[in-house]
Chains A and B, each alone.
Chain A
Amino acid sequence: GENVEQHPSTLSVQEGDSAVIKCTYSDSASNYFPWYKQELGKRPQLIIDIRSNVGEKKDQRIAVTLNKTAKHFSLHITETQPEDSAVYFCAASKTGGSYIPTFGRGTSLIVHP
């Protein structure tokens, strides 16, 4: 089955800095890669996703890049703000069959004012 490794487990940055979270996956057939943000005590919420036919996708201050050859994808947050503080989860799945994503263990991002 699919295996997703996420690093780092904790990331501490100063407000205004950039933050990068990386995930690797094992199944070359995976073709859908979402990222979820979970604020303390809240539900995970989808913030951005990318499909395997695209190398990069951007939405304001967040972007995701995908390297299919190396089987890794990354979340980039620029100009971080305190409200970006949360746990971020990556996931990988195939968009066929029963569609069950495999989640990474999560990265706790702390943005210091």
Chain B
Amino acid sequence: NAGVTQTPKFQVLKTGQSMTLQCAQDMNHNSMYWYRQDPGMGLRLIYYSASEGTTDKGEVPNGYNVSRLNKREFSLRLESAAPSQTSVYFCASSDRTYYGYTFGSGTRLTVV
């Protein structure tokens, strides 16, 4: 039982490059989320998907896009990376029976 799996774990990008962060969960959860974590800022929601086929903006969506590929997978795309997007990114999932989040192991992204 892997829980929530994120790839890659580390990534260095040059300004203007694009990349996709992958997230998959095997807990049959309906809802999935992408957060970024910066020092002193806590966890800030980028996008979420309440159920398969739906996505919505969170607190800090600018510069990102998402795709809920199926019930298991939720990807985050940076089309043109900027240094301000240097952060640790966490994917999470939850369901309507047990509302607590299960987080992935995180992706440490550096944009130079």
Min CB gap A101→B, angstroms: 8
Docked pose: A95 CA to B95 CA in angstroms: 10
A36-B101, A49-B100, A98-B56 known; A105 and B41 CB under 8 Å?
yes
Q: Give complex CA distance A106, B44 in Å.
A: 12
Decide: B31 and A98 in contact? CB cutoff 8 A: yes
Q: Does B103 contact A (CB under 8 A)?
A: yes
Interface centre among A36, A43, A46 (most CB of B within 10 A): A43
- Tell me which residues across on chain A come within 8 A of B109, comparing CB atoms: none
Residue of B nearest to A45 (CB): B103
Q: Closest approach, in angstroms, between the C-beta of A9 and any C-beta of chain B?
A: 8
With A43-B90, A43-B106, A44-B90 known to touch, is A100 a contact of B45 (CB < 8 Å)?
yes
Q: Which residues 42-96 of A have a CB within 8 angstroms of B?
A: 42-46, 49, 89, 93, 95
Question: Can you list, as one digit per residue, whether each of B17-52 has a CB less than 8 Å from chain A (1) or not (0)?
Answer: 000000000000001010000001111010010100
Q: Could you say which interface size class chain A belongs to?
A: 20 to 34
If over half of A's interface residues share one DSSP class (helix, strand or loop), that class is named, otherwise mixed; here it is loop
Instruction: Write out the residue numbers on chain B whose beta carbons fall within 8 Å of the beta carbon of A89.
Output: 42-43
B86 — which chain A residues lie within 8 A by C-beta? none
Assuming the contacts A43-B105, A105-B40, A105-B42, asked whether A98 and B50 have C-beta atoms less than 8 A apart, the reply is yes
Closest to B104 in A: A43
Mark A29-43 against chain B: 1 for CB-CB distance below 8 A, else 0.
000101010000011
Chain A residues near B (Cβ < 8 Å) = 32, 34, 36, 42-46, 49, 89, 93, 95, 98-101, 103-106
